[in-house]
């Protein structure tokens, strides 16, 4: 009976020890808790394996839990990350695929996350919060190389079209024409030298003429200043004449206002005098003796007698 109890105790103690070892191996009370995040890559994830490290600014913060194609778009790959709880994953955090050293082992690098940015939350219709991604260095280099190769191919095609048989013949003809022109210029070297010398003399004469024209321009400038001064003086004289005319006009108006009534009266009296003279002239013409003998008495009418 005692042996059975001892055996049972040993078995229970062994089970407890095994459970403790397993618990300690799994982390025990220090076991980390993880949050799941989703990232969608638009490029190849070759070299990235399950349990590949996820780093935040170079610090290990989790692992890649799942890698699968997007059912709605096979060109995209869905990556599920298990990231330690408490890691500051913000709305502006970005995930990038990178390779470690020369071994080419791929991992995920998280960066960004401003201090005042809000934490990343799952949106409506999404099971996990979605971390934004950007192209890796290899993808960017591939795009650059693709563009460069396309441009090189286009340049090569252009060069081939330029170096066609027709263009080569045209270029050869142009070189022959250039050689002919060069020979012609060499044959006329003496004439060209004389022309250059004549041009030099012409420039020298022009320079002397320009030097002589300078004083003439100065004299013209002084004449223009004198003409301008004369014009200013004429303007002043014109202004004075205008003032004089205005003064004479005022005097004429004053003289007219005072003299016209007297002239009108004088003309009236002269009209009356002329009428009197006309009547006197008519009387003299009718009876010239009346001017010397005086006025004759009027003879009595019939039935009138002289008074006794």
Does some domain include residue 301? no
Q: Provide the 3-class DSSP secondary structure of residue 167.
A: helix
Domain boundary among 119, 145, 177: 177
Domain boundary among 134, 157, 191: 134
pLDDT tens digits for 58-117?
Answer: 899 999 999 999 888 888 999 999 999 888 889 999 999 988 766 667 899 998 878 888
Does some domain include residue 204? no
The answer on 148 and 96 residing in a single domain is no
The answer on 162 and 80 residing in a single domain is no
Does some domain include residue 43? yes
The answer on 166 and 82 residing in a single domain is no
Encoded tokens for 122 = 């799952």
The answer on 149 and 117 residing in a single domain is no
CA separation for the pair 207, 209 (Å, rounded): 5
CA separation for the pair 75, 88 (Å, rounded): 30
Q: Is pLDDT of 294 > 60?
A: no
Domain boundaries, position 88: 32-134
The answer on 129 and 146 residing in a single domain is no
- Give me the pLDDT at residue 283, please: 67
The answer on 157 and 68 residing in a single domain is no
Q: Is the pTM of this model over 0.85?
A: no
CA separation for the pair 138, 151 (Å, rounded): 20
Encoded tokens for 109 = 């690098």
In whole angstroms, how far apart are CA 301 and each of 116, 214, 304, 306, 308?
A: 153, 118, 6, 11, 17
The answer on 126 and 41 residing in a single domain is yes
Does some domain include residue 148? yes
CA separation for the pair 134, 87 (Å, rounded): 20
């Amino acid at each position: 009976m005692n042996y059975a109890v001892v055996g049972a105790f040993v078995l229970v103690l062994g089970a407890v020890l095994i459970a403790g070892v397993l618990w300690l191996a799994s982390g025990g009370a220090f076991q980390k808790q993880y949050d799941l995040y989703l990232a969608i890559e638009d490029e190849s994830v070759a070299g990235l394996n399950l349990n590949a490290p996820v780093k935040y600014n170079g610090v290990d913060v989790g692992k890649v839990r799942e890698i699968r194609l997007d059912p709605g778009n096979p060109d995209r790959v869905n990556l599920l990350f298990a990231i330690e709880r408490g890691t500051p994953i913000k709305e502006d955090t970005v995930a990038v695929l990178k390779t470690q050293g020369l071994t080419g082992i791929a991992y995920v690098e998280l960066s960004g996350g401003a201090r005042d940015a809000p934490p990343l939350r799952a949106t409506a219709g999404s099971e996990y919060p979605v971390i934004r991604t950007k192209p890796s260095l290899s993808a960017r280099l591939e795009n650059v190389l693709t563009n460069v190769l396309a441009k090189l191919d286009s340049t090569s095609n252009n060069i081939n079209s330029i170096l066609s048989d027709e263009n080569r013949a045209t270029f050869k003809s142009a070189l022959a024409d250039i050689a002919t022109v060069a020979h012609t210029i060499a044959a006329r070297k003496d004439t060209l030298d004389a022309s250059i010398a004549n041009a030099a003399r012409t420039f020298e004469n022009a320079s002397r003429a320009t030097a002589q024209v300078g004083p003439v321009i100065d004299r013209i400038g002084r004449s223009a200043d004198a003409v301008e001064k004369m014009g200013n003086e004429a303007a002043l004289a014109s202004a004075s004449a205008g003032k004089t005319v205005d003064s004479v006009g005022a005097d004429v108006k004053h003289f007219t206002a005072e003299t016209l009534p007297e002239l009108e009266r004088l003309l009236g009296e002269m009209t009356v005098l002329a009428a009197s003279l006309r009547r006197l002239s008519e009387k003299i013409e009718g009876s010239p003796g009346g001017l010397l003998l005086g006025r004759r008495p009027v003879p009595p009418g019939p039935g009138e007698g002289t008074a006794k």
